[in-house]
Structure 1
Amino acid sequence: MAPTFSTPIKLMSFSILLFLIINIVNAQQSTLVYYLQDIGRGYNQTVVPVIGINGRVWSYNTFGTIFVVDDPVMLDPSSLSTQVGKAQGVITVTSIDGTNVNIVLSIVFNNVQYSGSTLQIQGSSHQRDNLRELSVIGGTGRFRFARGYAVFETVSYDAPTSHSIIRLTITLAIP
């Protein structure tokens, strides 16, 4: 009769499941709300197209256009509000009709409470929706092992300067 390995495998599987349940139960959930100052034109531009398809205009609606982002992250919607960090990353127009973008963004904190910590946000965003939800896929420092979601909501938009104020609501579970 051949030896059976089902008992050790079941015990190991149960141990892993128990570990995951304990970590999920012990995770703390919190919500953070910040405002991005997103400026697409002028001297203080924080979103810049860096590459696109030859022969096409590089814009938010043109497939293949890639932007780099360095938006101030503020406590309130006012541009005079306290800055707590920067939203730095890449936005790529990924749908042929220009409706979807793929966002890879790091929130890099420089305030006293979270200095040196980061949150990593990533996902596909339907850019014409007022509310856009993306995944929080990790973090560093105070946000190590963070998971959750981030909702981007355009609060205001000024067409001549291409200045958007975007409310960023981040809901996190941190073990």
Structure 2
Amino acid sequence: MAPTFSTPIKIISSILLLITIIITNGQAPNQTSTLVFYLQDVGRGFNATVMPVIGINGRVWSYHSFGTIFVVDDPVMLSPSPFSTQIGRAQGVITVTSLDGANVNIVLSLVFNNGEYSGSTLEIQGNSRQRENSRELSVVSGTGRFRYARGFVVFETMSYDAPSERSVIRLTITLALP
């Protein structure tokens, strides 16, 4: 004769199953995906892609001056080379938010206009410790192929040329897609 379970065990098992279904909303676990792109950031000259637009009166507007706000429109490339295939733009706002100038708040949209993600966006925001080579921010949403995306992005400065204020920044994006 096969073993049978008592009624309390059946009830507890049913309740646990119901709780699991409610918590997961009946969906399969999220899939994780990692993408790598490169920003070509230029802070000086005719082709500058990041510019200060406002700051505190009487102070120099710079990445180290509290209250300075920058706008960004960096090309997003497939490799670190400036001659690589451009797949979109990183457009947004950077605000120096700490009194000592060590941190900036970034609100950035990756707007894809070429390749397999064309027409899609990823929304990034968070506090960036700009004196560190590697900075982690949140991916808070997306559109198109990235609808309902969430995750994080690691900004890593690959190279920086002080006289021209040119830098190459690697974005390693880890996403949980429904």
Q: TM-score, normalization: structure 2?
A: 0.88
> Can you list the C-alpha shifts for 1:9-56, whole angstroms capped at 9, x where unaligned?
x89x83531417x34x1x111100000000000011000000000000
Number of equivalent positions: 162
SS of residue matched to 1:44: coil
Q: 2:25 aligns with which of 11, 15, 19?
A: 19
AA matched with 1:157: Y
AA matched with 2:143: T
AA matched with 1:48: M
SS of residue matched to 2:25: helix
> Can you list the C-alpha shifts for 1:78-114, whole angstroms capped at 9, x where unaligned?
1000000000000000000000000000000011301
Q: 1:159 aligns with which of 162, 173, 176?
A: 162
Residue pairs, 1:1-175, within 5 angstroms:
14=19, 15-19=21-25, 22-23=27-28, 25=29, 27-175=30-178
SS of residue matched to 2:79: coil
For the residues of structure 2 that align with 1:152 and 1:144, how far apart are their CA atoms?
Answer: 22
Structure exhibiting the larger radius of gyration computed from Cα positions: 2
AA matched with 2:114: N
SS of residue matched to 1:17: helix
SS of residue matched to 1:113: coil
Could you tell me the percent identity over the aligned residues? 72
For the residues of structure 2 that align with 1:114 and 1:31, how far apart are their CA atoms?
Answer: 14
SS of residue matched to 1:142: helix
AA matched with 1:106: S
For the residues of structure 1 that align with 2:123 and 2:24, how far apart are their CA atoms?
Answer: 27
Gaps of 5+ in 1: 1-9
Gaps of 5+ in 2: 1-14
Runs of 4+, deviation exceeding 6 Å: none
For the residues of structure 2 that align with 1:119 and 1:135, how far apart are their CA atoms?
Answer: 10
Q: TM-score, normalization: structure 1?
A: 0.89
